[in-house]
Structure 1
Amino acid sequence: MDRLQAMQVFTRVVDTNSFTRAAETLDMPRASVTTIIQNLEAFLGVRLMHRTTRRLSLTPDGAAYYERCVRILADVEETEMTFQDRNRKPHGKLRIDMPGSIGRAIVIPSLCEFHSRYPDIDLQLGLTDRPVDLLQEGVDCVVRVGALQDSSLVARRIGLFEGVSCASPAYLERHGTPQTLEDLENHRAVNYFSNRTGRVIDWAFLVGGKEVEIKLSSIVSVNDADAYVTCGVEGFGLIQPARYQVLPYLKSGELVEVLPDFKPLPMPISAVYPHSRHLSPKVRVFVDWIAEVFDRCPLLSGRGSLDKTCTKRTPEERESGTTFETPVVTEWVA
């Protein structure tokens, strides 16, 4: 049995959700497709899919095998492309995952620029705050906030998450405005809990060069960044979101900054992808592009200001910028 061909046939059946359509796109007899899938299941010793006259559905083993096949076939395609045509533009399917707030506010508004540069890349953009297993789920690259940990991955810092402590005017009118960190004991917050662990993430401040964590009580906790901000605007308690995310609310007065002398602990924003000696060209160009997008956004590049917005950089400015890649060494929190 040609295992590479079997993988190609299996993934095409899954993608088209039909043995007949898979056979047509592969220019093969339908009987051959059926035989290849049967032989593949016999070779693996598991059932990959449930088949009825109306529909196909993957078994848990089939879903796991599909994700691995997609990645293996993509690696084969990219390896062949490297040697076949070194001048060919990056192409193919590219699966990216990132927090919804970053995707909607920063990345999606600039996607036309990316598509203009790389029209042959089919971008699949997942917007989620949940942890993603890149290898198991066949994701090429994720954008995440905070420290990370996985020795099989590489993280490239592309920005800086600068938080701001704030609350609605209605909340401050009812409970007063905190002046010191000790005052927070008499306040409540909207708490944010981790999708991975379910643990509430404590507030963190940078005081005298050291991190200070504070637990706040709450009457509502969420695990979604947009819901987190909405709860703050509605007056459920103090919040500590990204400054870029609440900039319109701060300008309109729907949210008011508190404790301006006690800055939240900044966190790195990283593009994370599997460690490989030959980084996929499509992943490389995406990471380079998103790093450029973040670099021209003052609120995400460490040059934050309420009066600054994202701008395009000149070629000279892009050439003077620096980037770096480091092995992931600590646990990620977003």
Structure 2
Amino acid sequence: MDRLSAMRAFITVVDENTFSRAAERLDMSPQLVSKYVSWLEQQLGVRLLNRTTRKVHLTEAGSRYYQRAGQLLDELDDLETQLDDSQNGVRGLLRISAPVSFATRHLAPLLCDFQKQHPGISIDLQLNDRKVDIVEEGFDVALRIGHLKNSSMIARKIAPIRLVMCAAPSYLQQHGTPACLQDLQQHRYLRYSYLDDSDLPLHEALMEGRSRGGRQAGDMISNNGDVLTEAAIQGAGIAIQPTFIAGPALADGRLQMILPEHEPTPMALYAVYAHRQLLASKVRTFIDFMDGYYGDVPWWDRF
């Protein structure tokens, strides 16, 4: 028997947890799947699975073999995909979810440069600041901004995201420039509605002392950072915004940084996708292209 086919049969049985579902996925009979797994066990001289009438359970040896065999098959699939791409080019529709403000300001040049290199790929870009379900909503990759958390998804860091607190010089002249965190309590807060991070002392200081609904007179709440940044430029209050939005206004003096010694820990822009196994070449190519595109210090932070 073919060892690679036997390895694929074993991996699929473990993933599907039954021989019958593995057989459906592999388009072969359950009997043949069972023969492949039994042959593999004989070749290795160890039992990989404990079988019951309804489920299969990995043995200790089977667990170790599952991890290594999966890695080897992934690498082989990647190699064959890369060889095919080099001959025929990468093709297909790439569905991307991305944050609204970042995409409208910074994503178009990247996408255009990517399609120049890979003209066989079409792009469907959907903008939304909520956390989409990649699998349920049919996205190939999602761009997300935040701190990386434990997840079943796989993520690659694309660019650093710096947050600063800022206000217009006119607002600070009228209301005073805060000298410490406690001074923030009486200021107007232009708050991004998706920002609720207890690790941000600036956010916590601005929220302290507010009413039960988290607001006081003169506050503004929005789910769009561009609106809040423009309101800050107009002198409406203090905002905590990423520099990819506020950077130009900080550079030309329309906004002024406040309490830079309390600047939040940087976040990052991540490319998130569902799994590595049998990763489509269009997704792998796009993620590899994004890696390093914006540089270690993006242009919007050079002010």
Q: Same fold (TM over 0.5)?
A: yes
SS in 2 for 1:295: coil
Find the counterpart in structure 1 of residue 302 from structure 2: 305
> Given residue 277 of structure 2, which amino acid in structure 1 is its aligned partner?
R
Pairs aligned (count): 216
Equivalent residues in 2 for 1:1-334, closer than 5 Å: 82=81, 85-87=84-86, 88-149=88-149, 151-194=151-194, 200=196, 204-205=200-201, 213-216=204-207, 217=210, 218=215, 219-295=219-295, 297-298=297-298, 304-306=301-303
CA distance in 2, matches of 1:201, 1:175: 26
Where in structure 1 do 4 or more consecutive aligned residues deviate above 6 Å? none
SS in 1 for 2:179: coil
> Given residue 266 of structure 2, which amino acid in structure 1 is its aligned partner?
P
Contact kept? 2:159, 2:296, Cα under 8 Å: no
Displacement of 1:166: 0.5
The percentage of aligned residue pairs carrying the same residue is: 34
Structure 2 unmatched runs, 5+: 1-76
CA distance in 2, matches of 1:287, 1:115: 13
Displacement of 1:277: 1.2
Q: Deviations over 1:302-326 (max 9, x none)?
A: xx431xxxxxxxxxxxxxxxxxxxx
Contact kept? 2:190, 2:228, Cα under 8 Å: yes
CA distance in 2, matches of 1:280, 1:260: 43
CA distance in 2, matches of 1:215, 1:231: 17
Instruction: Note closer, same or farther for the CA distance 1:104–1:143 as it changes in structure 2 (3 Å cut).
Output: same
Displacement of 1:297: 4.7
CA distance in 2, matches of 1:202, 1:221: 18
Q: Structure 1 length normalisation: TM-score?
A: 0.58
SS in 2 for 1:254: coil
> Given residue 258 of structure 2, which amino acid in structure 1 is its aligned partner?
V
CA distance in 2, matches of 1:96, 1:127: 8
CA distance in 1, matches of 2:143, 2:92: 20
Find the counterpart in structure 2 of residue 58 from structure 1: none
> Given residue 111 of structure 1, which amino acid in structure 2 is its aligned partner?
L
Contact kept? 1:298, 1:305, Cα under 8 Å: yes
Q: Deviations over 1:5-34 (max 9, x none)?
A: xxxxxxxxxxxxxxxxxxxxxxxxxxxxxx
Displacement of 1:294: 2.2
CA distance in 1, matches of 2:184, 2:82: 61
> Given residue 204 of structure 1, which amino acid in structure 2 is its aligned partner?
L
Contact kept? 1:97, 1:126, Cα under 8 Å: yes
Q: Which has the larger radius of gyration?
A: 2
Displacement of 1:142: 0.7
